Structure 1
């Protein structure tokens, strides 16, 4: 930086700011008072900048039950349940007709929706914005990769997979949708169709909703909800009736999905309990199992055994793994392994075409689509908010790229292992002439699944292990489902909190009533119909979430581009830090300052530097603020320089201490502490990643001006774009009120760092 620019900081920036203001102010109101309608529109309009986006956390208020969402959702579910129980034949016929209409007229819509979701999440992962984290820039994952991936798998696997792993492949072999029955072509596709239905489509939906909820919760401090994910699209209207409608649609669809999974589970488990304990299989045993799930959920809520439920969710993975290994070792090992490899290869090879296949040219294609592909797509849509919320809860600090790639690969491969093991074991029997087994598996899938298990050595042990595994899947889904429903029917600003315990119990009871009603109205088929119907409105939510998320990702990309255009200084530690002399660099490598030294440096260097810059900005006509405070953990002074730019994201230069472990190698360790404090610069999305300790006052001033130049470059880029959804509205915005009326605080997440936590991974 030249001497002239040092003596007149902000002179170049003043020109940029003046030009920016002139272009923005051409068609503004010219100071006349706003009408009430204009004021309401200004207050409720969607955010057009990340600065406005940061105010989203203030919109949702304190934690409380949303009685409107709870009442309407519960009323819809209970009304449907009463109808199904009092008039089961009429309910079944009506839903069958509606599903027939959907299969003929809207099948393309479901197929296209899932394909678009897959394409969208892949684009997010592979684009530059894939580097954005579910949290501030400096946040890092709380779980190891292995633990995290294990939890991903546990979240998305339900007992329904065991139910369809046998009947699915056999049905597609005997009555294939697009091949000759019982032909070699039908055999090659039999297992692949079930893999397709349990493959990338479902996990892409989980990824979409999970990363959207996690992004807004952990990066912007909003609730972990679908409503919050639509804030960039709807603005403050998300706290009103529009947001309530979104939550009602989401909640009803989720209840339907969980009830369907529970219903399929009790149908399957009742056969296992009948075989193991001699209990009469039928509706009575199925209802008893539903009641058991409610009792377990109540016990978990009232006795504080959530850790025990988490232990059960891990135990079900081990039991499922043991069951799969036992079948591979004691069954047709070579056939199963060969089939597994070929199935995966054929799945990959046919995925693009299969993803857009609607069976329009096949006779009875719409009926087949309604009973299989459309049902599964609706199932994943209904389960999307449920599983997505859980995925978001465990993924704070992950990048979007990590989140998506892991979610659509590792759990999918685990799903494939289950499907191919059971599916190919069943196919081996059918290909070798066991027609009676094939007929049983198609007419009564639950009986067919247990009949297959009885063909292996040690059948009693395997049936017991399979029943235990299914029971654990079933109980985990019931308990976690009640928790998610309680969250969706509440307003909970803190993403780490859950809905009230009594609310979880209420939703467990309501879901149980719905499950029993659908069992009375026709069993699994009725559940499939109900899921397909009630998931239709959820597709609208999926499109809204994609539009909202696309808007904020454009903001992120614009900021990245702005930084890139003006990153003319690169620090030796990898950030855009101020340039140090070689003596300063060498000294910093061997120095871990004490807390007293950091406090002294802040008072003698940082504070005077920011005061001088603040005075100069003010003299040149900028609207600035200099906010001084203390870090709540270390009590070290913090200082934030804010420069306001009309109708645009303001500039923030926030200096705060970050506790960092002292390395055990190199340098001097004169002190006995295990950590020291770095003075890092925070913008509105996190730390810039460099330490100011050891700089001169002039170097700190230069760094402030450098950061401001980068900010101006960012605003200039976003203002000149033709796309209004990046940062600028399509028409000149209404002028903001005076900065004295602004309520927002300095946006940073440095206080979220625990003592001793580093900003480095």
Structure 2
């Protein structure tokens, strides 16, 4: 549930995004700049080279506000998956051998490429989070998060962590202890490094991929009103071409990679859960039980998927976190508590110290280095890459209003820490048994990871209770991934204008069924090993998407930087308050601190002071040759038509000045505490990226005029800085400029005098 003020803010967000995507009406004549030649119109297939171009993305990408199925993407992706599934089912041994040959070639020849790609992704997201652009929000400047911190972190963790982590939390450390990549196995040095390798594979690298795609898609969706999709995130790089075959190809690659990633997680999950169901209910283990669990899971997934994010996925995510926490506490306090805590601290320290070395490690000097990389690090990197578009969309879907810094830091810390706790507790519990001489358990954990995982649980007091809790937790992990996966697959194969909406329910059901078919096919073709091969192969094209997204998003962030830096650039004639709240007298400031106006009072002030001031500015602009649009924006939340002034800047981003009525809670402190009312109303100034954060109530007409001019002059500074810092690229070359001198930004038809407004 959201409060009335939150509902009003959401309505304001929608109105603001609509305004950001609009262009000047066609009947308004463009201003001529003193007879000089104008910049040519941008061709429809050119990529944006300024924020004015970027603001057209909503109208250029979205033709129909209704959700429409992308039939080319849907059909091609479905054909690829069905063909692969049929091949794996009809010729399982050939499929397994062929994929093994391809994986061997990739591990030998392209291992370095995977390593470099993941390293660059980690560096990029840290650069965004720690840089000045980290303050930019996934939405307008005034937007705020929809979910509370605990719920948000729960959904981050549950959506990005699959049941595969439980599967590898035992077999990974034991395998690295017995047969490490670059040291003698079975030693104390190997033991100290064993769990750290699994923590590394489930650590910052993978979540950085999620953060990259999530923040890029969320930024363009919520800040610029574009669809929540990969192709929208590439709009600054490819322009309107993202709507054509090129965009369809990118969406198809992302969708196929997502299906294989989710299917791999589902396959590993049913292999693991089949052992738990066998122990709990006495069922016979084998392929039959695994297929039955896939069918059962699909039925539950369809039921949960149709309930949407706020009901099904949110409830499962929170229950998942609580069940996993209960399982971890049980293992900690009924197992070797002192050893587990000591080992966890040492694991964290070793992970942090060796992270740079492991990130760039390829084992080029080890005889079997390529084989080890293909079976472990490269598989995990491919797995994260395949899951990247899927989890990225889901994370963006639940993170509206968060800053880029908050989004990235939370994504690479909170869920990663939860991963580390699970891996360390399970891995070190397994290592304790191996170090005590339990060779039979060590062999079982390596040869049959699912049996080894449940064998470890059977060693704790109250084994059946723990096995039941672990099976429940694993089932919730599985359902969360499958549930959100079906939703995201539906979104990838649909054109959706509103980022808050999802694809049609029938399409979610279709993808849930098709993913189940692919899972069963890979189980028949060889089980977990075949799934690892397929993931490593089909994730390779996704790496290209990662590079394109980094190029596209960095270009958009340069535009954000240009706007921020432009606000501090001032000509000598500019007022010192440009871009900030207007100066008030002492009496005005004291009155403002103790005044909480009602809606009627704000409407009267709007009609008496603000509208006449904006009308006067608009009239003077027109008199001096500017092309001006003076209109209103309907506010569904308040029922008030809000004044909007838009000054055409030719091919640059138009100047946008809108005054909006915003509901705010009355503070219970200050010069006068109000006990009679709970909310009051403010008149805030909005630009194309959101609220300026200050209130116009109580100003004089002249002060409002001065504020409009200060904002306009700050906008000129932004455009000047933007044009100086815009950088062309190979994919997005700078538009050819005509011969002759370009006019100054904002120049009028007659440039003899500066504007003189009363």
TM value normalised by structure 1:
0.89
On the 8 A contact 1:24/1:732 being kept in 2, the answer is no
Q: 1:444 is matched with which residue?
A: 448
Q: 2:169 is matched with which residue?
A: 165
- The reply to whether residue 230 of structure 1 matches residue 204 of structure 2 is no
Q: 2:63 is matched with which residue?
A: 61
- The reply to whether residue 49 of structure 1 matches residue 53 of structure 2 is no
Match of 1:367 among 339, 357, 371: 371
Cα distance, 1:667 vs. partner? 4.4
Q: 1:216 is matched with which residue?
A: 220
Which segment drifts farther, 322-331 or 131-140?
322-331
Superposed, 1:510-659 pairs within 5 Å as 510-566=514-570, 576-659=580-663
Cα distance, 1:307 vs. partner? 2.3
Superposed, 1:346-425 pairs within 5 Å as 346-425=350-429
Question: In structure 2, do the counterparts of structure 1 residues 254 and 629 end up closer, same or farther at CA, with 3 Å as the change threshold?
Answer: closer
**TM-superposition CA deviations, 1:529-551 (whole Å, max 9, x none):** 00000000000011111111001
Cα distance, 1:633 vs. partner? 2.9
Which segment drifts farther, 700-709 or 244-253?
700-709
Q: 1:681 is matched with which residue?
A: 685
The separation in 2 between residues aligned to 1:302 and 1:383, in whole angstroms, is: 22
Question: In structure 2, do the counterparts of structure 1 residues 239 and 457 end up closer, same or farther at CA, with 3 Å as the change threshold?
Answer: same
**TM-superposition CA deviations, 1:57-89 (whole Å, max 9, x none):** 222233111111111101000000000000001
The separation in 2 between residues aligned to 1:168 and 1:670, in whole angstroms, is: 62
The separation in 1 between residues aligned to 2:613 and 2:56, in whole angstroms, is: 29
The separation in 2 between residues aligned to 1:305 and 1:201, in whole angstroms, is: 26
- The reply to whether residue 187 of structure 1 matches residue 188 of structure 2 is no
On the 8 A contact 1:551/1:725 being kept in 2, the answer is no
Cα distance, 1:424 vs. partner? 0.4
Cα distance, 1:662 vs. partner? 2.0
On the 8 A contact 2:327/2:466 being kept in 1, the answer is yes
The separation in 1 between residues aligned to 2:114 and 2:299, in whole angstroms, is: 36
Cα distance, 1:510 vs. partner? 0.5
Which segment drifts farther, 101-110 or 423-432?
423-432
**TM-superposition CA deviations, 1:430-472 (whole Å, max 9, x none):** 1121111111111111111111111111111111111111112
- The reply to whether residue 275 of structure 1 matches residue 279 of structure 2 is yes
On the 8 A contact 1:575/1:690 being kept in 2, the answer is no
Q: 2:457 is matched with which residue?
A: 453
Cα distance, 1:675 vs. partner? 2.1
Q: 2:322 is matched with which residue?
A: 318
Give the 3-state SS of the residue equivalent to 1:205 in structure 2: helix
On the 8 A contact 2:579/2:710 being kept in 1, the answer is no
Question: In structure 2, do the counterparts of structure 1 residues 303 and 387 end up closer, same or farther at CA, with 3 Å as the change threshold?
Answer: closer
Which segment drifts farther, 265-274 or 661-670?
661-670
Cα distance, 1:23 vs. partner? 12
Query: Larger relative contact order (C-alpha < 8 A, sep ≥ 6)?
Result: 2
The separation in 1 between residues aligned to 2:33 and 2:117, in whole angstroms, is: 43
The separation in 1 between residues aligned to 2:640 and 2:612, in whole angstroms, is: 16
Question: In structure 2, do the counterparts of structure 1 residues 656 and 262 end up closer, same or farther at CA, with 3 Å as the change threshold?
Answer: same
The separation in 1 between residues aligned to 2:536 and 2:432, in whole angstroms, is: 32
Superposed, 1:701-712 pairs within 5 Å as 701-712=705-716
Q: 1:139 is matched with which residue?
A: 143
**TM-superposition CA deviations, 1:346-387 (whole Å, max 9, x none):** 000000010000110111100110000000000000111111
Question: In structure 2, do the counterparts of structure 1 residues 304 and 725 end up closer, same or farther at CA, with 3 Å as the change threshold?
Answer: closer
On the 8 A contact 1:569/1:577 being kept in 2, the answer is no
Q: 2:6 is matched with which residue?
A: none
Give the 3-state SS of the residue equivalent to 1:71 in structure 2: helix
The separation in 1 between residues aligned to 2:39 and 2:325, in whole angstroms, is: 65
The unaligned stretches of length 5 or more in structure 2 are 1-30, 740-758
**TM-superposition CA deviations, 1:628-676 (whole Å, max 9, x none):** 3543332334211111112211111111211122223334578954322
On the 8 A contact 2:457/2:467 being kept in 1, the answer is yes
Question: In structure 2, do the counterparts of structure 1 residues 734 and 237 end up closer, same or farther at CA, with 3 Å as the change threshold?
Answer: farther
- The reply to whether residue 664 of structure 1 matches residue 691 of structure 2 is no
Q: 1:714 is matched with which residue?
A: 718
Question: In structure 2, do the counterparts of structure 1 residues 117 and 25 end up closer, same or farther at CA, with 3 Å as the change threshold?
Answer: farther
The separation in 2 between residues aligned to 1:671 and 1:627, in whole angstroms, is: 38
The unaligned stretches of length 5 or more in structure 1 are 1-19, 30-38, 736-761
The separation in 2 between residues aligned to 1:300 and 1:460, in whole angstroms, is: 28
The separation in 2 between residues aligned to 1:99 and 1:21, in whole angstroms, is: 61
Which segment drifts farther, 176-185 or 528-537?
176-185
Match of 2:97 among 71, 93, 98: 93
The separation in 2 between residues aligned to 1:734 and 1:545, in whole angstroms, is: 31
CA RMSD in angstroms comes to 2.3
Question: In structure 2, do the counterparts of structure 1 residues 21 and 414 end up closer, same or farther at CA, with 3 Å as the change threshold?
Answer: farther
Give the 3-state SS of the residue equivalent to 1:565 in structure 2: coil
**TM-superposition CA deviations, 1:272-297 (whole Å, max 9, x none):** 11112211110000000001111112
Cα distance, 1:50 vs. partner? 2.0
Which segment drifts farther, 352-361 or 590-599?
590-599
- The reply to whether residue 295 of structure 1 matches residue 318 of structure 2 is no
Cα distance, 1:26 vs. partner? 6.0
The separation in 2 between residues aligned to 1:681 and 1:284, in whole angstroms, is: 64
The separation in 1 between residues aligned to 2:721 and 2:321, in whole angstroms, is: 50
**TM-superposition CA deviations, 1:121-157 (whole Å, max 9, x none):** 0000000000000000011112222222222111211
Give the 3-state SS of the residue equivalent to 2:373 in structure 1: helix
Give the 3-state SS of the residue equivalent to 2:56 in structure 1: helix
On the 8 A contact 2:334/2:460 being kept in 1, the answer is yes
On the 8 A contact 1:25/1:732 being kept in 2, the answer is no
The separation in 1 between residues aligned to 2:34 and 2:489, in whole angstroms, is: 48
The separation in 2 between residues aligned to 1:432 and 1:649, in whole angstroms, is: 70
On the 8 A contact 2:630/2:644 being kept in 1, the answer is yes
The separation in 1 between residues aligned to 2:103 and 2:733, in whole angstroms, is: 42
Give the 3-state SS of the residue equivalent to 2:692 in structure 1: strand
Cα distance, 1:305 vs. partner? 10
Which segment drifts farther, 678-687 or 575-584?
575-584
- The reply to whether residue 75 of structure 1 matches residue 79 of structure 2 is yes
Question: In structure 2, do the counterparts of structure 1 residues 653 and 71 end up closer, same or farther at CA, with 3 Å as the change threshold?
Answer: same
Question: In structure 2, do the counterparts of structure 1 residues 395 and 630 end up closer, same or farther at CA, with 3 Å as the change threshold?
Answer: closer
Match of 2:495 among 491, 497, 503: 491
Which segment drifts farther, 297-306 or 696-705?
297-306
